[in-house]
Amino acid sequence: MLRSIGRQTAYLIGHTKSRPITNWSTFVCTTFSGGERKFGPADQQSCRHCATSHKVGQFESATTNEISHRKKKSHTINSNNETDEEATLLEQQLAQIDEEVARLLALKAKLGDGPATPQKFTLKTPKGTRDYSPQQMMLRQGVLDKIVEVFKKHGGEAIDTPVFELKEVLTGKYGEDSKLIYDLKDQGGEILSLRYDLTVPLARYLAMSKISSLKRYHIAKVYRRDNPAMTRGRYREFYQCDFDIAGTFDPMLPDAECVKIVSEVLDTLDIGEYVIKINHRQLLDGMFEACGVPADKFRTICSAVDKLDKTPWAEVRKEMIDEKGLDAAAADKIGEYVQLSGGIELVAQLLADEKLKAVSSAVKGLESMQLLLKYCDAMGLSPKISFDLSLARGLDYYTGVIYECVLKAEPKIVQNGAAEAAEEQGAVGSVAGGGRYDNLVGMFDPKGKQVPCVGVSIGVERIFSVLEAKNAAAGVKTRTNEVQVYVASAHKGLHEKRLSILNSLWDQGIKAEHSYKLNPKLLVQLQYCEENQIPFAVVFGDSELSKGVVKLREVTTRKEEEVPLAELGNEIKKRLNN
């Protein structure tokens, strides 16, 4: 029965049974001019093109004729008393043909009649990301090295965690900022999201590893679907440098050390004057309660207060009333408190406040702040810190002290290699932040075991933008490599001797390079040294080699001195150390 249908249709039905053709190594592509050709794996593209492009129309026409013919024959068969079983089988085969033709026609419509043309697109990095040039990477690595040195000085140990986490690990930890989490596409497996920060992954790590005490640092990329302001050092993909102390200790001792670490990092990087703002989450909650804010609105009102560093009070007040549903009188009371800032004298003033004295959480927060400021003063930090009631930090996991460091004055920020004026004072925003989160680890522990933690995060991208701007303004040219010596030959045919000298220097741990031309001009080689700020050049020709010496040239002064070839490595090391 099957052979009585046209060769093309019969083969298609026999091999696909209404399924797409996948075994191209056995597929027979039949043209409708009577020819036939088998295709192997190397011919898959041609075969697909034949099956889904210009031959489809011919296939449609041919199979339609076959169907019509078979329907007539079916009628004849039935007229000749053919069995009902054979007629039913024929109808099923015809239905399969109809289905396959429809599928191929749909595929043809999707692909189009003409040859495929490459789509035009704008070549750029994704929004909120950037490439780093060799000059920028050298500056960046220098910043990271200095930060790590401070972390190590305070006993930090390095860890690393995956760049993506289970979505449920991140959900519910960031308050209103949860909408900024990048969710990965569901591919039939685990539901994943890119990490928003390094704090929640640390808490998950501590709970999984059953660790109750750790002083760790972690430098890695995080991702946020924020509105980027790249001229202000704000991106969607950026590095964070975190230092955290996990464990049960006496109050405020690790908290004060975190303030000291922020101060040391910023002093080491020399990015300008700064102030470290400090507040306490218990004090904020107590303040909200004293002002008449319902307990179920504490977190959402806290998120509104968190915007005061970049939004006027009038706009924040309007948001509290119109969007958060807060009573206007309560908002006005909050406004009286969030305008206050100072030092340890402000703590005494607030401890005497009648409304705050009536709220136990406010009193506990103030007593903790009093102790923290005392410890900070013992470490000489008082001139650099400010007790600021407008500091909120909207992340849900904070339970105690919170920090934020901002620059007092902002230099111009560099974008695409050019210095641009900042739109407003302080546009770079926070360059560090953190706080205490005593309950976060317990959210992941099966038994709810708590591991108290406190930590800070350095905003290295914003710091990098500031330093880049300062270097551009000062005309500083950043070296892109660490080459110490350039080996230059003065005559032709000395490339093998260059390689021999280079090999000796490399074996002695000296960073060196040379020209990749067989017979480079000496002037070009020396100009390369000056342009790339290489401190020393080894220069030799036939006359020097005949005496067993080379000339060691100081590139900046252009002074040259003959040095025995056997002593070259030691002489270079001695000069580098000086």
What ranges do the domains of the chain cover? Answer: 134-410+427-474, 485-577
Structure tokens at 108: 């043809």
Calculate what percentage of the chain has a pLDDT beyond 70. 79
Write out pLDDT tens, residues 401-412.
Answer: 999 999 986 544
> Is residue 487 scored above 80 in pLDDT?
yes
What are the start-end ranges of the H helices in 18-83? Answer: 44-52, 54-79
Whether the domain at 134-410+427-474 and the domain at 485-577 fall into the same CATH topology: no
pLDDT at 256: 98
Q: How confident is the model at residue 187 (pLDDT cuts 50, 70, 90)?
A: confident
- Those residues whose C-beta lies under 8 Å from the C-beta of residue 367, and which sit 6 or more positions away, are 351
pLDDT at 73: 52
Rounded-to-integer distance, Cα 487 and Cα 392, Å: 58
Please give the CATH architecture assigned to the domain spanning 485-577: 3-Layer(aba) Sandwich (3.40)
CA 413 from centre of chain: 21
- DSSP strands (E only) in 3-150: 28-30, 36-38
Q: How confident is the model at residue 175 (pLDDT cuts 50, 70, 90)?
A: confident
Write out pLDDT tens, residues 524-573.
Answer: 999 999 999 999 999 999 999 999 999 999 999 999 999 999 999 999 99
Rounded-to-integer distance, Cα 449 and Cα 203, Å: 12
Q: How confident is the model at residue 30 (pLDDT cuts 50, 70, 90)?
A: very low
Q: How confident is the model at residue 507 (pLDDT cuts 50, 70, 90)?
A: very high
Q: Of 112, 100, 119, which is closest to residue 14 (Cα–Cα)?
A: 100
> Is residue 194 scored above 60 in pLDDT?
yes
Angle at 439 between CA 435 and CA 444, to 5 degrees: 120
Token pair 């701007």: residue: 469
Rounded-to-integer distance, Cα 526 and Cα 539, Å: 9
Rounded-to-integer distance, Cα 355 and Cα 351, Å: 10
- Amino acid identity of residue 475, one-letter, is G
Token pair 């109809």: residue: 98
Which is the CATH superfamily of the domain at 134-410+427-474? Bira Bifunctional Protein; Domain 2 (3.30.930.10)
Pairing of strands 385-388, 274-280: parallel
Rounded-to-integer distance, Cα 519 and Cα 102, Å: 69
